[in-house]
Amino acid sequence: MLTLKQIRENTDEVIRRLAVKHFDGTVIINKIIELDDNRKAIQLQLDSTQAEQNKIAKEIGKLFAEGKKEEANEAKVKTVELKETSKKLSEELKGVEEELRNLLLQIPNLPHKSVPEGVGAQDNVVIRTGGVEPELHEEALPHWDLASKYNLIDFELGVKITGSGFPVYRGKGARLQRSLINFFLDYNTNAGYEEVEPPHMVNEDSAYGTGQLPDKDGQMYHITADGFYMIPTAEVPVTNMYRDVILHEAMLPIKLTAYTPCFRREAGSYGKDVRGLNRLHQFDKVEIVQIQHPDKSYEALEEMVQHVEGLLQKLELPYRIVKLCGGDMSFTSALTYDFEVFSAAQHKWLEVSSVSNFESYQANRMMLRFKKEGDKKAQLAHTLNGSSLALPRIVAALLENNQTPEGIKIPKALQSYCGFDKISL
């Protein structure tokens, strides 16, 4: 959430930068400033009323002691009137503050100055590429046919048990999933990330904290009886571990990694682009999260990009890194790099990771702050996160790119985790 200070001190710049995300902020920003002015005026009136009330209350005892009973009773009537005025002003203030917060929650994060302008994925900028695109044999198959041929994933059984987008992994397919999760976690912990295992459901405060609500309302699975939400990513529970916390500056950076299943309704998703593992309602992902000092968050972002790139290199997959344009960025991000791997059988690039800096946007929602030694006032931290990695499209690319007439080869880095070097009939 943007701070009122950001909005008031740089109004024109805020509106201009929001436009890069194709968000017209003129009306809502002006309304926020109007409400903030109103809030200040009510607060000033409330403070004055309460001060007068306290002053008169102190005088009442003195008047009674001096035998001025009539004046004391008049003063008592006045304090009753002032209390009623204070009550009305407090209720009015609460309403204005709630309306102000609701408007602030509707404004996306400001894009970083380096974010390219653009409407969608076609306008993203390729930063660099790596790996070699394989040349497949003539009878090469897409991953959904390979999964069936080698009895790795049963999509139809998942439809029977739950519905479309909930596959069942079997045999070596299930082993490959578990191997990838363990490999990713080991890679992350070896780089200094602390492994955590968070809940797979969060409350409404947590969903608001990282910005899934209200922006993604309707895209998350909602357990209405309890008010819980199934997590769309481990970013939500892991980052919220530090909601309403004031850290010591020496504790920064905090680096965390977690494996969780992820749940996304993906309403409106259909067609060939969502076939097989390309888009699921439940999938596995390993996440990395950092709580950083504002002065070091962009340095940390570059380190996280290199970290994820190293994973793809170990998996021997052809990849490219793209900087997202304003029109393709998430609601909460200030700067995002997407990682895509090439799917040789589908002849397309598949997104497998997003690495983002949210600056103070999430921290302001969560009141995640840190304090320097000797300082009385705390300041907002910066938060970052990245997929390290999301499994479905990684599995799709591994199956498709490594297929041979004799079977599917397993990258060397995974063989000790899998216990096999090839999947064959």
List binding-site positions: 233, 264-266, 287, 351-354, 385
pLDDT digit string (tens) for 181-199? 999 999 999 999 999 999 9
Cβ density class 94-107: b for 16+ within 10 Å, e for less: eebeeebeeebeeb
- Count Cβ atoms within 10 A of the Cβ of residue 135 and give its class: 0-12 exposed, 13-18 middle, 19 or more buried: exposed
Amino acid code (one letter) for 232: P
Q: Write the CB contacts of 38 (distance below 8 Å, at least 6 apart in sequence).
A: 96
Q: Provide the pLDDT for residue 273.
A: 66
List binding-site positions for ATP: 264-266, 351-354
pLDDT digit string (tens) for 89-106? 999 999 999 999 999 999
Phi-psi region of 165 (alpha: psi -120 to 50; beta: other; left: phi over 0): left
| Angstrom distances, CA of residue 395 to CA of 16, 107, 321 | 41, 36, 19
Q: Write the CB contacts of 310 (distance below 8 Å, at least 6 apart in sequence).
A: 187
Please report, to the nearest 10 degrees, the dihedral formed by the alpha carbons of residues 36, 42, 45, 49 taken in order. -140
Count of alpha carbons within 13 angstroms of residue 223, beta-carbon side: 13
User: Does residue 113 contact residue 298 with C-beta atoms inside 8 Å?
Assistant: no
Among residues 158, 163, 162, 186, which one has the least CA distance to residue 173?
A: 158
Q: Provide the pLDDT for residue 404.
A: 96
d(CA 334, CA 324): 10
The pLDDT tens digits along the chain (425 residues) read 999 999 999 999 999 999 999 999 999 999 999 999 999 999 999 999 999 998 888 888 787 777 878 888 888 888 899 999 999 999 999 999 999 999 999 999 999 999 999 999 999 999 999 999 999 998 999 999 999 999 999 999 999 999 999 999 999 999 999 999 999 999 999 999 999 999 999 999 999 999 999 998 889 999 999 999 999 999 999 999 999 999 999 999 999 999 999 999 976 555 556 789 999 999 999 999 999 999 999 999 999 999 999 999 999 999 999 999 999 999 999 999 999 999 999 999 999 999 999 999 999 999 999 999 889 999 999 999 999 999 999 999 999 999 999 999 999 999 999 999 999 99
Residue 425's CB: how many other CB atoms inside 10 A?
7
d(CA 25, CA 34): 14
Residue 218 CA to its chain's centroid (Å): 16
Catalogue all structural domains in the chain, each as residue range(s) with its CATH number.
Answer: 4-105 (1.10.287.40), 121-423 (3.30.930.10)
Residue with tokens 């939500």: 236
Q: Provide the pLDDT for residue 269.
A: 53
Q: Provide the pLDDT for residue 63.
A: 79
111: which DSSP letter? P
Cβ density class 327-354: b for 16+ within 10 Å, e for less: bbbbbbbbbbbbbbbbbbbbeebbebbb
Amino acid code (one letter) for 161: I
Q: In a 3-state reduction of DSSP, which class is residue 237?
A: helix
Share in percent of the chain as helix, strand, coil (round to 5): 45, 20, 35
Phi, psi of 228 (to 5 degrees): -95, 160
Residue with tokens 């490219």: 320
Q: How many angstroms separate the most distant Cα atoms in the chain?
A: 108
Q: Provide the pLDDT for residue 400.
A: 97
> Which tokens sit at 10?
């740089």
Q: Provide the pLDDT for residue 289.
A: 98
Q: Provide the pLDDT for residue 272.
A: 57
List binding-site positions for L-serine: 233, 264, 287, 385
Q: Which H or E run contains 383?
A: strand 382-390
| Angstrom distances, CA of residue 1 to CA of 7, 107, 216, 332, 380 | 11, 7, 15, 8, 11
Among residues 404, 399, 425, which one has the least CA distance to residue 176?
A: 399
d(CA 289, CA 173): 28
